[in-house]
């Protein structure tokens, strides 16, 4: 008779293997969606890229669900998180000291935009014809706004912007969301030909200007 520990080991091994397979599928989907677009990417193509069967890809979800999950994993490193603070991309930032906190936030967002800007453009396009993607897009945008509200609140808590800025918290969150959006990366780096370094420096400068303005007008 198989022991309880043996069954637990086998169950854990299967779960690990399933998670690794799903990650390969999502990484392959992200690569192909970014390169080919939503409509042109097929289950069969994703399967070939991931080195799995077409049935395995279909079992991972509908094409729209794969696009959504692929974006989440590419942008933040974590699928289905409610907040960026709960993801691989946001891990540990909240514990950093004041002198490096804002710079670390900017660096993490720049990295995320570099990874996911092309896929974000595909997501925006697919939302026009797919209701599931459109609904997910609204959820992502809502979460993004909440994350920037949390960032403004954290900056106030750390006294990096004045407490009176809380009166304009929603407006300030919208400004930060605009400044550090994947759309901006796509336009400046993808379309205008900026280097990633130039973009990162631009973001850093604009956010520091924003923080200074918040301190004056907060």
Model confidence, pTM: 0.88
Give the pLDDT confidence of 52-90 residue by residue, as tens digits: 999 999 999 999 999 999 999 999 999 989 999 999 999
CATH assignment of 1-61, given 2.60.60, 3.30.310, 3.10.450, 1.10.10?
A: 1.10.10
- The Cβ of residue 85 has, within 10 Å, a number of other Cβ atoms equal to 16
Whose CA is closest to 194, among 186, 204, 206? Answer: 186
pLDDT at 101: 95
Mean pLDDT (the chain) is: 91
Give the pLDDT confidence of 82-140 residue by residue, as tens digits: 999 999 999 999 999 999 999 999 999 999 999 999 999 999 999 999 999 999 999 99
pLDDT at 207: 87
SS3 per-residue string spanning 97-110: CHHHHHHHHHHHHH
pLDDT at 98: 95
pLDDT at 212: 81
Residue with the two structure tokens 């997910």: 136
Indicate the pLDDT class of residue 170, thresholds 50, 70 and 90. very high
Long-range CB pairs of 79-84 (<8 Å, 24+ gap) are 79/26, 82/143, 83/143, 83/146, 83/147, 83/150, 84/143, 84/147
pLDDT at 213: 79
List the chain domain ranges. 1-61, 77-217
What is the C-alpha to C-alpha distance for residues 20 and 198, in angstroms, rounded to an integer? 35
- Is residue 217 scored above 60 in pLDDT? no
What is the C-alpha to C-alpha distance for residues 159 and 34, in angstroms, rounded to an integer? 40
The values of phi and psi at residue 175, to 5°, are -65, -45
What is the C-alpha to C-alpha distance for residues 213 and 206, in angstroms, rounded to an integer? 10
């Amino acid at each position: 008779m198989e022991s309880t520990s043996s069954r637990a080991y086998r169950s854990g091994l299967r779960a690990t293997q399933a998670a690794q397979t799903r990650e390969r599928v999502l990484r392959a989907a992200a690569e192909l969606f970014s390169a080919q677009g939503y409509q042109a990417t097929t289950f069969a193509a994703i399967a070939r890229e991931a080195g799995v069967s077409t049935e395995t890809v279909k079992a991972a979800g509908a094409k729209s669900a794969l696009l959504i999950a692929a974006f989440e994993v590419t942008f933040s490193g974590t699928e289905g998180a409610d907040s960026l603070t709960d993801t691989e991309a946001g891990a540990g930032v909240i514990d950093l000291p004041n002198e490096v906190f804002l710079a670390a936030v900017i660096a993490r967002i720049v990295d995320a935009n570099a990874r996911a800007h092309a896929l974000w453009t595909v997501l925006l396009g697919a939302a026009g014809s797919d209701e599931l993607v459109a609904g997910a897009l609204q959820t992502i945008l809502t979460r993004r706004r909440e994350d920037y509200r949390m960032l403004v609140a954290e900056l106030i808590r750390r006294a990096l912007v004045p407490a009176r800025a809380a009166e304009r918290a929603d407006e300030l969150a919208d400004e930060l969301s605009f400044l550090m959006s994947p759309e901006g990366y796509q336009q400046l780096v993808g379309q205008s030909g900026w280097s990633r370094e130039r973009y990162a420096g631009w973001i850093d400068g604009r956010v520091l200007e924003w923080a200074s303005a918040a301190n004056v007008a907060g």
